[in-house]
Amino acid sequence: MKRRFQIGIALLLGSYVVGAAGYKVLSPQTPFLDCLYMSVITIATVGFGEVVDTKNSALLRSYTLVLILMGVGVTLYAVSVVTAYIVEGDLNQYFWKKRMQRRIDSMQGHFIVCGAGETGYRIIEELSRIRRDFVVIEPDPQVVAQFRSKFDAPILEGVPDDTAILKAAGVERASGVAIALANDRDNLVTTLSIRMLNPSIRIVAKEIEPGMAERLQRAGADAVVNPGAIGGLRLVSELVRPSVVMFLDTMLRDQSTYRFEELHITDGSVWSNRKLEDIQPRSQFGLFVVAVRAQGQEGFTYNPDDSWLVEPGQTLIVLGDATAVNRAREVLRAESRTSA
């Protein structure tokens, strides 16, 4: 459609110029600007006075007649293409928004990414790779257009701290939010707005200026990440443990989508009050249990053996393919719903 729009405009402008050139050839004494004026009013059929004298020239009259017939055809085509471009563009945008909102409304326990800039883009890439449902909120229309051309995921254009936008993104049903906006003020206000709408949601906010972490946490952030601090840790890791960094980088970039993930054990889960040797996560799902965190504890039990008893409230840290992890999550959710 865009190509047809460009062709229609080019044909219309070209007909004006060609028409003017024809008048100039047949009436050399007439200035070119007058020839162009004559061409435009002839093709547009506006009926203004003629600036090229056609009374005494049958050739000029014949040329004008042909120009009118051809010009009207070109004008009708150009107008129809431009109208279709505008109407279809608006309609496509309208139906796309409708489809997107229906898709968001069907989500439960999804993630919301506020900001699709440099940091947000990395978050979006990772969520796409591990096949997790998410919604993006971005205030910049150009960034929204770029996102739509690269990702098949819902995105809302608007200010992330706007209550209506947050509700449209399903913040009351979401399980987590990543806030990665361009400045600390926006991150702070957005954190506060989200916490007021959903007291139980997990909020991870980006800190730009050192010292903002405490304010963000007071506003409701569960975790605060400073990209500069993370970059410093990455640099020292490259110095002292390059093989470990290479391993993690390879895992994150690998198309097999192997990741460290977490599985939460709830009351009524099929894994609850069972030993790892009975659950057999490795043989059943291809998952390696590398650590366990008990409810209310900050520390981890690393490399638990097969006799480890899995209890409600524990979080299992596993290594495995994203598809296998999602399959295990579905089993745990299904069992929890059945028990409920």
* Residue 127: predicted pLDDT: 92
pLDDT reading at 214 higher than 90: yes
* Gap between the Cα atoms of 317 and 315, Å rounded: 6
* Gap between the Cα atoms of 13 and 129, Å rounded: 48
Of 234-238, 246-250, 293-297, where does the model show the most confidence?
A: 234-238
The pLDDT tens digits for 18-27 are 888 988 888 8
What architecture does CATH give domain 108-230? 3-Layer(aba) Sandwich (3.40)
* Residue 210: predicted pLDDT: 87
- What Å distances lie between residue 67 and 21, 34, 60, 79, 191, CA to CA? 12, 16, 10, 18, 64
Alpha helices in 106-151, H assignment, sequence order: 118-129, 141-150
The pLDDT tens digits for 305-332 are 999 999 999 999 999 888 889 899 888 8
- Delimit the CATH 3.40.50.720 region(s) of the chain: 108-230
Measured in whole angstroms, the distance separating CA 340 from the mean position of its chain's CA atoms is 36
What architecture does CATH give domain 2-100? Orthogonal Bundle (1.10)
pLDDT reading at 340 higher than 70: no
pLDDT reading at 233 higher than 60: yes
The pLDDT tens digits for 128-150 are 988 899 999 999 999 998 998 89
Mean pLDDT score, 175-189: 95
**Sheet with 176-179: strands ordered across:** 155-157, 134-138, 111-114, 176-179, 202-206, 223-225
* Residue 156: predicted pLDDT: 95
One of 1.10.10.1590, 3.50.50.60, 3.30.70.1450, 3.40.50.1820 is the CATH number of 256-339, namely 3.30.70.1450
* Gap between the Cα atoms of 38 and 15, Å rounded: 12
pLDDT reading at 96 higher than 60: yes
Q: Mean of the per-residue pLDDT values for the chain?
A: 88
The tokens describing 115, both together, are 């900001």
Mean pLDDT score, 53-57: 75
Mean pLDDT score, 215-243: 92
* Residue 97: predicted pLDDT: 87
- Delimit the CATH 1.10.287.70 region(s) of the chain: 2-100
* Residue 176: predicted pLDDT: 97
Which of 307, 305, 306, 310 is closest to 274 using CA atoms? Answer: 310
The residue behind tokens 């059929």 is: 45
* Residue 47: predicted pLDDT: 66
Buried b (16+ CB within 10 A) or exposed e, 157-191: bebbbeeebbebbbbeebebbbbbbbebebbbbbb
Which of 232, 234, 228 is closest to 208 using CA atoms? Answer: 228
Q: Which residues pair with 233 in a beta bridge?
A: none
The residue behind tokens 């509700």 is: 167
Mean pLDDT score, 144-167: 93
- Delimit the CATH 3.30.70.1450 region(s) of the chain: 256-339
Buried b (16+ CB within 10 A) or exposed e, 67-88: beeebeebbeebeebeeebeee
Both ends of the chain: CA-CA distance in Å? 53
* Residue 200: predicted pLDDT: 95
Of 7-16, 108-117, 121-130, 268-277, where does the model show the most confidence?
A: 108-117
Using a pLDDT cut of 70, give the percent of the chain over it. 93
* Residue 250: predicted pLDDT: 79
Q: Crossing angle of helices 32-44/2-26, nearest 10°?
A: 130
* Residue 131: predicted pLDDT: 86
How many other CB atoms are there within 10 angstroms of residue 97's CB atom?
14
Question: What's the pTM value of the predicted model, to 2 decimals?
Answer: 0.59
pLDDT reading at 337 higher than 60: no
Mean pLDDT score, 273-289: 92
The tokens describing 257, both together, are 């989508």
Residue 257 or 103, more confident? 103
Mean pLDDT score, 272-279: 92
The Cβ-side half-sphere exposure at 46, using a 13 Å CA radius, reads 10
* Residue 321: predicted pLDDT: 86
* Residue 335: predicted pLDDT: 60
* Residue 88: predicted pLDDT: 64
* Residue 87: predicted pLDDT: 66
